[in-house]
Amino acid sequence: MALLMLFSVQLVNSARSQIAADATALAGIYGGSEHATNIAKANLATPASFTDNRDSNGTFTAVVAIGAASASAQAFDQWAPALPTMNP
């Protein structure tokens, strides 16, 4: 029974850490490392590392941990391509 409980906790922490990583990466792409840290902590996650490439290729990568589970996410800041028009 205890083994099942430990597995369940790890499974929940794994899902929570992925959600926190996604939110952290999105915060980082628009607000940088400071905002990313705040969002990670608001999700009860420990920020492990950030890779801020917003100036070079428009990406921000976040790695966070909750308990023994860790997850990473990458956000892109790109405008949608312009749609063709009938105007020359």
- The domain spans of the chain are 2-76
pLDDT, tens digit, for every residue of 21-62? 999 999 999 999 999 999 999 999 999 999 999 988 889 999
d(CA 64, CA 45): 6
User: Is the overall model pTM greater than 0.85, yes or no?
Assistant: no
Say which residue, 63 or 88, is predicted with more confidence.
Answer: 63
DSSP code, position 86: S
Share of the chain above pLDDT 90, in %: 68
